Amino acid sequence: MRILVFGGAGYIGSHTALELIRAGEEVVVADSLVTGYRRAVPEGAAFYQGDLHDRAFLDHLFETEKIDAVIHFAAFSLVGESVSNPLKYYDNNLCGTKVLLDAMVAHGIDKIVFSSTAATYGEPEHVPILESDRTCPTNPYGETKLAMEKMFHWTGLAHGLRYVSLRYFNACGADASGNIGEAHNPESHLIPLILQVPNGKRESVSIYGTDYDTPDGTCIRDYIHVTDLAQAHILAVRYLAEGGASDIFNLGNGIGYSVREVIETARKVTRHPIPAVETPRRAGDPARLVASSEKAKRVLGWNPVHDSLEEIISSAWNWHKNHPDGYAEN
């Protein structure tokens, strides 16, 4: 198949593009490079720089490359920024995706895998979270992702589009080669923030809240290796190519680790004391977010293999210690 990875110069997109190439697929990457990096695009992928909103760009891309399916990563994803600047998120995530779907329908491309989020659920009713659970986002980021899912649904009914939406939790880690990894500016994810301490980029890491109803009082999250996420996207594309019906799947390890456990594991991996500073809770942080991925395992045949927290942090550290400034280095 010839697969378009939109947002393929970003963190998860670049890892997915790399795994697709390793799996023998033909890969086309499109990215605006607003938050992505040209150096993250794997060798062997065709690359087009352009914006999701640009219909002429999309028409040219679909006319030049005979695309069989699209994997869509091109969305803004900072929760805090979405609260302070919601219209930016509605414009990019929702309006941009509308233009993409217009172009796909016009060019007869009927398969899309969508990078969604656990933020569609909001505060969970129970743990582990199931795909059938209530969706009530607590921020514009989650709200726009949920609206995108509904856009795919209604477009499918009207135009025959089939989609898979992958709702995942805390993506982390890096490819085993150490050539690509996580590089956000600003950084907001826990593991890269922790690893900035042994890298000399910050003096300590903050623990937001130590009075949650969890064994050690800190928030518990479901961490999933980015390579396992990439494999799930490949399985989803193949599921659609084989005629699978539109569906939604959670992705996670089903194992929750607390903030303290993550910091302690990072200390072990890096052999650095990594000072931690306890600070008050942040508004809107649920105590526990853990996914049930049984449906993805049953229907897609997905089986995460990099599920050890120590392995996840080791792969991240291998990237960060050799690329302390991410892709900004010479």
Give the span between the Cα atoms of 300 and 294, in whole angstroms: 10
Of 199, 303, 243, 236, the C-alpha closest to 5 is: 236
Rounded to an integer, what distance in angstroms lies between the CA atom of residue 49 and that of residue 248? 29
Residue 163 among the catalytic residues? no
- Among the listed residues 11, 89, 121, 141, the single catalytic one is 141
Question: What residues are annotated to the active site?
Answer: 141
